[in-house]
Amino acid sequence: MAGHNHHHEESFISKYVFSQDHKMISKQFLLTAIVMGVVAVMLSIFFRLQLGWPGESFSILETFLGKWAPDGVLDRNAYLALVTIHGTIMVFFVLTGGLSGTFSNLLIPLQIGARDMASGFLNMLSYWFFLVSSVIMIFSLFVEGGAASGGWTVYPPLSALPQAMPGSGTGMTLWLISMVLFVASSLLGGLNYIVTIINLRTKGMKMTRLPLTIWAFLVTAILGVLSFPVLVSAVVLLLMDRSMGTAFYLSDIHIGGEALDVTGGSPILYQHLFWFLGHPEVYIVLLPALGISSEIISTNSRKPIFGYRAMIGSILAIGFLSFIVWGHHMFVTGMNPFIGSVFVFTTLLIAIPSAVKAFNYITTLWKGNIKFTPAMLFSVGLVSTFVTGGLTGIILADSALDVNVHDTYFVVAHFHIVMGMSAIFGMLAGVYHWYPKMYGRLMSTKLGYAHFWITLVCGYGVFFPMHFVGLAGAPRRYYDYSSFEFLDFVADFNPIISVFAIVGGIGQLFFLFNFFYSIFRGQKSDANPWKSNTLEWTTPVERIHGNWPNELPVVHRWAYDYSNPAYDEDFVPQIVPLKAGEEEH
């Protein structure tokens, strides 16, 4: 693939639909993720209406949800279905498929100096698996009995037994099928990313000269390739328990007035399998965002990223550790306390590389010359949410404390801030920053400002108070908090949180408008609008197959020579040869 570079005429279909060009596939991922994101945000607003004003009637609910919201009041089962699909879409479709799919595809070939992915065909397949699984997931909202409702983790036996809840019927089957296809997409994508990064780097692009984005994508892809197959096993065993009379996860159950015919399995087995993926998954979500923000913070501070090697080291350390901490999700399943202790230890270890990253970001800002592009604002916001959310992880990692806050709103606050907000910020930052590479135009800066400040304030406004709700003992996945006197205080919080959620959701219109409007009417971009060092800015603005019209660029230095005192300009692209006597950093 690499090396050939002829311009043949392409049909509309091969250019826009079944494209094998990484830049087009990246845009396909992005657009799909935006659609999925809009759905997921809308779902969250629907159930936030119920939480904010329990039992009140909202005609908008009836309009959208029909029989699931009779008289405008959300049904109890539908509430759980919405929460489940919201979480599933956000984690898997927006922040895994969407985030990695968009930016790994766009940036890997462009930043390492390759003409395309190692296999354009697998890359295309990866997108189509992703699209089909997205469609199935959305479709599952409309089937009899409703969508899967057992939470995004779909623990059996709840998810294994259609008798247990309406959402465990057809909706659950579709959820599982969708996930299998999703994993296929991730694996195809991930293998391609790894192979491309290892094999197709241009001349001079040593591993130690790779931008941190690429390091992050590489480790992310490795995590995915190693952990997603385990999810498939979990899911396939669950499908078999559901439809083939096996009992991998079922034991001693009496339900629906009848003793279950099969027995001998363990529901806990599923949790081990699920979280063996599930924890690496949160880093699959987070690492690309961290890589993106490293790049953007360095570029817009006009400073080298501080501690490049330490940043790589911490990405690797986080990646490795993420495989041996899954038990921290299972402290109260009756797991042996000693094993619990081991997981406490490994989990808290992750805080060390995370702290290193946070301090390195901050030091990068120190004495910088910071240009506040919207991408930069989101990246700085990401550092804040990463720190704020990461700190509460210390509480959750401490088994003795987790007993008390496990499955409460404290957890909801924690993961939304550290994973939800951070990764979304990273993704949005990436969109603003690399929009010129996708569409040859720039998004509006002013609208970007409005978008950022609304999103930051509303994001913290929604999730920060949830810490207090959880610490006071309010469980998550509750349809209504008015049944118990000691939870009456939740009524102080919920309407305010919901208003923040609604305003924040509407604030996303700034982004949507800006995004689609600028495709057609945005200002035409220069080749290197942010004065950045990395290779993607050496390609022509008019996107072409093969990325570089002539020879591939040759790399002479690392990606972070910003404000190098040896040069007048405050940036030195990677293709600029070292001066005589200049030492590389």
Partner 1 sequence: MKLFILLVVVVGIVAIAQLARVYELTARLRKTKEEDISYADNRLNAKLWLLFMVLFYAGFIALIVKYGDYLPVSASAHGEGVDKLMDFNMYIIIAVFFVVNTLLFVFASKYYYRKDRKAKFFPHDNRLELFWTIVPSIVLAVIIIFGLRTWNEMTGEAAPDALRVEVYAKQFDWTVRYPGDNNEFGLANYNLISTTNPLGIVTKEGIVESLEAIETELATLKADVENERGVLLREKAEIEEELHPSHGHGDGHEMSAERKAHLEARLHEVESALNSGNTTVLSEEAYEAKKDKISRLERHIQRIMEIEDFSYESNLRAWEAGTDDRIVKGEFHLPVRKEVEFIFRSRDVIHSAYMPHFRAQMNCVPGVPTRFKMIPTITTDSMRLVMNNPEFDYILLCNKVCGAAHFNMAIKIVIDTPEQYEAWLKEQAEYVAKEETAPAVEPEAAESVEVVVADSQTAIVE
Contact, 156 vs 239, CB < 8 A?
no
Main-chain dihedrals φ then ψ at residue 571, nearest 5 degrees: -150, 150
Kindly state whether residue 64 participates in binding partner 1, applying the rule CB under 8 A.
no
44 binds, among Cu ion, partner 1, ligand HEM, none (CB under 5 to 8 A by kind): ligand HEM
Closest CA to 455 of 424, 489, 484, 483: 424
246 binds, among partner 1, Cu ion, ligand HEM, none (CB under 5 to 8 A by kind): none
Kindly state whether residue 87 participates in binding partner 1, applying the rule CB under 8 A.
no
Tell me how far apart the terminal alpha carbons of the chain are, to the nearest angstrom: 33
Which token pair is 18?
């079944």
224 binds, among ligand HEM, Cu ion, partner 1, none (CB under 5 to 8 A by kind): none
Q: How many residues form the binding site for ligand HEM (CB under 6 A)?
A: 22
Contact, 466 vs 409, CB < 8 A?
yes
Closest CA to 23 of 547, 585, 580: 547
555 binds, among partner 1, Cu ion, ligand HEM, none (CB under 5 to 8 A by kind): none
Applying CB under 6 A, among 22, 86, 115, 329 the residue interacting with ligand HEM is 86
Strand pairing report for 523-524 and 441-442 = antiparallel
Closest CA to 308 of 216, 424, 197: 216
Kindly state whether residue 440 participates in binding partner 1, applying the rule CB under 8 A.
no
Which token pair is 182?
């999703």
Applying CB under 8 A, among 100, 123, 202, 360 the residue interacting with partner 1 is 360
Nearer to partner 1, 370 or 544 (CB): 370
Kindly state whether residue 279 participates in binding Cu ion, applying the rule CB under 5 A.
yes
Q: Restricting to residues 481-520, name those near partner 1 by CB under 8 A.
A: 481, 483-486, 489, 495, 499, 502-503, 506-507, 509-510, 513, 517
Q: How many residues form the binding site for partner 1 (CB under 8 A)?
A: 140
315 binds, among Cu ion, partner 1, ligand HEM, none (CB under 5 to 8 A by kind): none
Provide CB contacts within 8 A for 408, sequence distance 6+: 469, 470, 471, 473, 474, 475, 476
349 three-state secondary structure: helix
Which residue is listed with tokens 């690499």? 2
Sign of CA dihedral 28, 544, 374, 411: positive
Which token pair is 378?
């989101």
In the complex, the smallest distance separating the C-beta of residue 569 from partner 1, rounded to whole angstroms, is 10
Rounded CA-CA distance 560/509 in Å is: 34
In the complex, the smallest distance separating the C-beta of residue 11 from partner 1, rounded to whole angstroms, is 33
Q: Give the bridge partners for 571, in sequence order.
A: 562
Nearer to ligand HEM, 441 or 476 (CB): 476
Applying CB under 6 A, among 2, 419, 456, 575 the residue interacting with ligand HEM is 419
Applying CB under 6 A, among 272, 302, 441, 476 the residue interacting with ligand HEM is 476
Task: Please choose, out of 58-66, 186-194, 273-281, 338-346, the segment that lies near Cu ion by the rule CB under 5 A.
Answer: 273-281
CA 345 to the chain's CA centroid: 26
Nearer to Cu ion, 415 or 571 (CB): 415
Kindly state whether residue 91 participates in binding ligand HEM, applying the rule CB under 6 A.
yes
Fill in the amino acid letter for 337.
P
Q: Which helix (H) or strand (E) holds 381?
A: helix 374-397
Nearer to partner 1, 143 or 395 (CB): 395
Q: Restricting to residues 440-469, name those near ligand HEM by CB under 6 A.
A: 462
279 binds, among ligand HEM, Cu ion, partner 1, none (CB under 5 to 8 A by kind): Cu ion
Kindly state whether residue 290 participates in binding ligand HEM, applying the rule CB under 6 A.
no
Nearer to ligand HEM, 344 or 428 (CB): 428
Torsion of CA 455, 211, 207, 26, to 10 degrees: 70
Site string for partner 1, 315-344 (x = CB under 8 A): -----------------xxx--x--xx--x
Which token pair is 73?
């009041």
Q: Which helix (H) or strand (E) holds 441?
A: strand 441-442
Applying CB under 6 A, among 54, 70, 72, 151 the residue interacting with ligand HEM is 151
Kindly state whether residue 254 participates in binding partner 1, applying the rule CB under 8 A.
yes
Give the 3-state secondary structure of 460-486.
HHHHCCHHHHHHCCCECCCCCCCCCHH
Q: List, in sequence order, the alpha helices (H) in 54-205.
A: 59-65, 76-88, 99-112, 120-139, 170-199
Q: Restricting to residues 93-112, name those near ligand HEM by CB under 6 A.
A: 95
Nearer to Cu ion, 42 or 355 (CB): 355
Rounded CA-CA distance 546/542 in Å is: 12
Q: In terms of residues, how long is the chain?
A: 585
Q: Restricting to residues 35-74, name those near ligand HEM by CB under 6 A.
A: 41, 44, 48
316 binds, among partner 1, ligand HEM, Cu ion, none (CB under 5 to 8 A by kind): none
In the complex, the smallest distance separating the C-beta of residue 316 from ligand HEM, rounded to whole angstroms, is 24
Rounded CA-CA distance 312/296 in Å is: 16
Please report, as ranges, the residues that interact with Cu ion according to CB under 5 A.
Answer: 279
- Which stretches of the chain bind ligand HEM, using CB under 6 A? 41, 44, 48, 83-84, 86-87, 90-91, 95, 151-152, 412, 416, 419-420, 424, 462, 476-477, 501, 505
